[in-house]
Structure formats: C-alpha cells, structure tokens
Amino acid sequence: MPVGEALRVSFQMIRVNKLRAFFTVLGTVMGVTFLIAVITLITGMDSYMKEDFAGKVYGFNSVMLRRRPSVTMTDDPELRRMWRRRQPLTFEDAEWLGERMETPGIISISSDRGGKVSGPSGRTLESVRISGASASFFTARDMGVEAGRVFSEQEAARGVPVVIIGKDVADKLFDVGSPLGQTVRVQGFPYRVVGVLEKQGSLFGMSMDNVVIAPAKSRVNGYVNPHNVVDEITFKVSDASLVPRAMAEMEGWMRIRHRLHPGDPNDFELETASESMAFWNKIATYLMLALPLLVGISLVVGAVVIMNIMLVAVSERTREIGLRKSLGARRRDILAQFMIEAGTLSGAGGVLGIGIGIALATLVSSISPLPARVSMLSIVLSIFLGVGVGLAAGVYPAYRASRLDPIEALRSE
Amino acid sequence: MSAAREVVIEARGLQKHYQLGAETVRALRGVDLEIRRNEYVAIMGPSGSGKSTFMNLIGCLDSPTTGEFILNGHPVAGMSDDELARVRNREIGFVFQTFNLLPRSSALENVELPLVYAGVGKKERRERAVAALQAVELGNRMDHRPNELSGGQRQRVAIARALVNTPSIILADEPTGNLDSRTSEEIMALFARLHGQGQTIIMVTHEPDIAAHAERVVTLRDGTIHSDRRQTPAPVVARPARVEEEAEAALSGT
C-alpha cells in the first residue's frame, strides 16, 4: 500500500490550494476549535476546583460545621427562613466539640464579614474581609506568614487586639516600611499588626489577600457576629482517609449537643471539600453532555462539505486516476489514496482547530476569571476526530474514484 | 526474424463488442496476431478501424469479449481488475500522446510512480528512477517539473517512466502526436536505440512517417487485420543540435 505516496500527494494538494483546503475543512476546524476550547476551560476549572478552590475555601482534609451552607445556588425563601431559624453555633460549641472529638485533629473557629480597615496614614480600605479566628485557624487552613507571626493561643483566649493582615492590605496601607508593630483600625478598633500573611492568590477573580485576621474574642467580634456566635467550626485531620470518620463523629456530637431526636433532620451543615466538588462535578457533567451535540453538528456539516469537495476533486483528477491505474494502481490503491487525502486534509483542519481552540481558551481565561488548562486527552481526541471525519467523508468519493474505468478516465479532459 | 525469439504477445480470435444503447458495436471481429520479443511494431489504421480497442487490449486496460490474449505468458482474458492492474504494472510501459505526467511532481517522482505501485522500497525506487532518467539523457533535469520541461523532454520523462519497471513491452499511443517534427525525430531516435538494446516496442500511430521507423507495420480495418508487413526501418535523421533544445528548455523556465 503506497501510503507514503498518498501522503505526499495529500500535502501537495493542500500546499497548492491552501485556501480551498481551508474552506473544505472549516467544519472540522470549527468543531475541533469548540471541543478544545470548552474542554480546556472545563479542565482548567476542574483542576482549579480540585487544587485551589477546595483548599482555599475549606482547607485540605477538613470538615466544616456551619449553621447554613457556605455555597448556595438557591433563592427559595422557605429554605432561607429555615436556615435562619436554626440555632447559631457558639464558642462553647467549639470547645465542647474539641473536648469530645476522638478522631485526631485540630479544631478551629472563624467568622467573617466585610468592613473597613484604616492605616496609620489615615488611608481607609473599604470592604476588607474581617475574620475573627482561633489561633489554630492558621494551621487548619495551611496559612503561613511572610513576616512576623500569627497570634498565640493566649492572645486568642484573652482577645488581645493583634491582627494578621493580608498581602493586599499590607501593600495598600503601608507603601514604605514594615507594617509590623504598627497600628491599624479595624472597623474603628485599634489593632497592632503582628504578621503579614503569605500571598493567597485569588478565587474566581476575588483576591484572597484582601483580609485581616484577628482573635475571635477581640473587640471586632462584636461587629463581625452577635455575641458569642461563630460562623464556622473547622476540624482538620491529618489525612484524607480520616475525613469521613471525623464528619460522622461531628455529626453525632452535634446531634447530641442540639438534642435532636432520631429521625429529626440535622439543624446544621457539615461540609468538606468533596461536597463542593460534587456541586462542580454536576455542572461539568452537564457541560460535557452538551458538548458532543454541538461538536457533532459542526463535524457532520464538515464531513458533508469534505465529501462534496472530494467528489469535485475526483472528477477534476479523473485523468490522473486513469494514468495511475494504467501504471498499475489497483482499486484499493486509488481508494486508499483518496481516503488518505481526505483524512490528511481533515486531520490538518483538526490540528488548526486545536491551535485556535487553545488560543481561544487562553484568551477567555485572560479576560475572565475562568482558568484554562490544556488537556492532552482532548488533543488526542481531536486528532482522531479530525482524521476520522475525513476518512468517513472520503469513503464515497474514494470508492467512486477506485471504480473508474481506466480507458474512460484516460480519455477525459 | 529469428524463430527462436519467444512470443510476447499472442492473440487468437480476439473479439471485442460494446453495447451502445440497443446496438452492439463489434469493434474487433477476430484478430490473430503474434509479436515476438524485440520486435518493433507499428499499428496503423483509420479511425473506427478498432485500432484503439486493440491497443486497450494489448495494454491490459480491458479484456476481450471472446478470444484468447496471452501477454508474456499471462492469459489476460477473464482477469479481474486488480489482476489486470498487476500485469500492467509489470509487463507494460505506456507512452501517451499527451505525456500524462503528474504536473505537480518532479520528473523523478513521475518516473518513480510505477515502482510505487509495484511496492518497491524507497531507496531502490530512487536508484532505478535515476537510472531510467539517465537512460533517456535527462539525468540533469530530474528535479524539474513537467512545466519546466520542453515537449520532447516531457515525452522522454514519460518514456523513462515506461522503462523503469523493465516491462516486456513499451506500448506507445501516438507518441509524437503532440510534438513538432524535429522533436518527433528525436523521440524516434530514442525508440530506435531502445529497440537496439532489445526492447519490444508497439506503437499505435496514424502517421506513415512515424510508422516507417518500425520494422513491422500491422494495419487494421473494420475490426480485422488488413495487412501485416515487414519493412526495413527508415533511418533516423541525424539528431538536431541538442544545444538548441537545451537553451529552449532553459528559457521556458528552470
């Protein structure tokens, strides 16, 4: 089988008539572009959700206890009323749980609310995330400081007015000199800066560094939450395998704590990183289901165009086919030649589509918070699809070519 | 003509009928012919004489309705398309009136083509194609495309292509039909040389001047052989100055 010859002729045809080749495979290019762009964005989202989002929102290997879910998509007022009727979580709940948990781990608390922070120069930042946390919070969230220190257990217990500030806050309030030891006002209350957080990056375009973290029992807590109330109690275990055990245990203790009868629903929420992943996975699944349909339409249209152009090519090159037959090409040689031509053409369209798709996804991710990550699988899939569409579209024209009578074909002009 | 020479082509009672609507056209009505190795035969005849049909049968592009046709020991009648393709590839070197070179391929690639279908490996293919081009004195034009060659050079590339797979016959269909008389003489000189080297040549032509170069002339009329005579080949006019032609080719765009 002269595959080399067929490939040589195929590339020659593309080279000689680039524009026609391009229009011939436009359907393939578009289908593959779309496929690559969407998969690249979904893959980007996916790895982002797994590697960044879950860790930033929940911390790794952590179970989060809340009065209401942290991420909600509902606007059912009934559900919102129900959440509001639940009893809030308190400092005592955290201590009580901490004394009873048998699964090894670290318990921490945190609450937050947006508010104002002003620096010694008088400059004020609006809507900074103000967090009240326990000293263990930093360990539970894997947060480190780039300068200074985090606050201690003692400071947290006594509510000493010390604060750890995020990178953005540090940069904006302190142009020159170290913020350490300086006083900032958090919602009007004076706090001494003891540490600057390491850069946390951003989440869907929102900076995670626009934050200040103070001991939960310090004065600003009165602004963040009603007296004694906390938003989240987080229990961090050392290994992912311990997460389900910790979750079950917390659920059991909290049901006892809230005196729930068997059969009563929980009046609190327990969340882990995998919960949020389940939510994202559902979205990704819908996208992945819609994708083949859209890509399929482009590719079917593409195949029809390729088939027509190949039929034109066969009739244009009838004489060449006759010549090849007279020189000893068998039916299957001619069949293979035109199939390979269609496959090569469409495959080249696929490669072009991969390039455009990646460029498109990169563009989208650079002007929007959506992340992009190229998936190797989608590239392999695209090449197979591209070549496959060409082969499928080439079958009929190639069959027609292979059946030509060499005498008639040689006589044609 | 020595009787010891083996028979390359043997036709017995060859008939070919075509169905044209309700009518049956009897293009060949029983042709008997024997051609031996190293013969140089011209096939002549007016249009409608069955000359083209006979050529298609000799070229194994078609198979007869009835009768026997044996090409170098292969009984061609009743062969499948693919078997015919194989015989064409191995036994026949076609030379066409319009050269039939692939326009976008170099001379070398054109000459390699029969070897591609013979399944010859790349390296050997190249070597044999180079040798064939050198044999037609085009060793210095191997990378040129047909549109960069003169008519005579194109036909020489086509002849190299016909020779490359060492066929048992060269089958030329009006090989000088598209060439001026000076270039025609040049091609005839090449044929004479190939014949001298032992090649069997069958040439279909309607020009008596061209047929005069053959040593045997078979004339067809109304689907049968009208005459079959041997002659002393006309001497080829001395080759015109090649310099002239080279210059012309160079000007036509190299």
Residue in the structure block whose two tokens are 């026609």: A20
Q: Is the pLDDT of residue A228 over 90?
A: no
Is B50:B33 a contact under the CB 8 Å cutoff?
no
Nearest CA in chain B to A333: B117
Between CA A49 and CA A40 the distance in angstroms is 14
pTM: 0.71
For the stretch A4-39, pLDDT in tens is: 888 888 888 888 888 989 999 999 999 999 899 888
| Position B252 confidence tier, pLDDT thresholds 50, 70, 90 | low
pLDDT number for residue B248: 59
pLDDT number for residue B1: 46
Nearest CA in chain B to A320: B102
Q: Is the pLDDT of residue B20 over 90?
A: no
Q: Judge: B117–A332 Cβ closer than 8 Å, yes or no.
A: no
- Supply the range of the domain harboring residue B179: 3-252
pLDDT number for residue A292: 85
Any long-range contacts for A247-250 (C-beta under 8 Å, 24+ apart)? A247/A63, A247/A272, A249/A101, A249/A102, A249/A103, A250/A63, A250/A65, A250/A97, A250/A101
Q: Which residues in chain A are contacts of B166 at CB distance < 8 A?
A: none
For the stretch A74-104, pLDDT in tens is: 678 888 888 888 888 998 899 899 899 999 9
Mean pLDDT of chain A: 87
Q: How many domains does chain B have?
A: 1
Range list of H helices, B64-222? 81-91, 107-118, 122-135, 151-163, 181-196, 208-211
Average pLDDT (B3-22) is 87
pLDDT number for residue A320: 94
Q: Which residues in chain A are contacts of B114 at CB distance < 8 A?
A: 327-328
Q: Which residues in chain A are contacts of B89 at CB distance < 8 A?
A: 327-328
* Residue A156 neighbours by CB distance under 10 Å: 24
Between CA A208 and CA A53 the distance in angstroms is 11
pLDDT number for residue A222: 81
Q: Judge: B56–A407 Cβ closer than 8 Å, yes or no.
A: yes
CA distance B244 to chain A (A): 31
Closest residue to B104, CB basis, from A5, A12, A331: A12
Is B205:B42 a contact under the CB 8 Å cutoff?
yes
Question: pLDDT over 90 for what percent of chain B?
Answer: 76
Please report how many Cα atoms fall inside a 13 Å half-sphere around the Cα of residue A241, on the Cβ side. 0
Question: pLDDT over 70 for what percent of chain A?
Answer: 95
Question: Looking at this predicted complex, what is its ipTM?
Answer: 0.90
pLDDT number for residue B254: 43
pLDDT number for residue B234: 84
Between CA B124 and CA B131 the distance in angstroms is 11
Interface residues from chain A to B (CB-CB < 8 Å): 2, 4-5, 8, 12, 16, 319-320, 323-333, 406-407, 410
Closest residue to B61, CB basis, from A4, A5, A326: A326
| Position B2 confidence tier, pLDDT thresholds 50, 70, 90 | very low
- Residue A329 tokens, joined: 């090409």
Closest residue to B86, CB basis, from A4, A8, A328: A328
Scanning B107-136 for CB atoms below 8 A from A yields 109, 113-114, 116-119, 122
Sign of CA dihedral A149, A150, A151, A152: negative
- Residue A393 tokens, joined: 């579209």
| Position A271 confidence tier, pLDDT thresholds 50, 70, 90 | confident
Between CA A302 and CA A147 the distance in angstroms is 59
Q: Judge: A323–B102 Cβ closer than 8 Å, yes or no.
A: yes
User: At B124, which CATH number?
Assistant: 3.40.50.300
Average pLDDT (A205-224) is 85
Q: Is the pLDDT of residue B242 over 60?
A: no
Mutate to test the interface with A, among B81, B124, B204 (most CBs of A within 10 A): B81
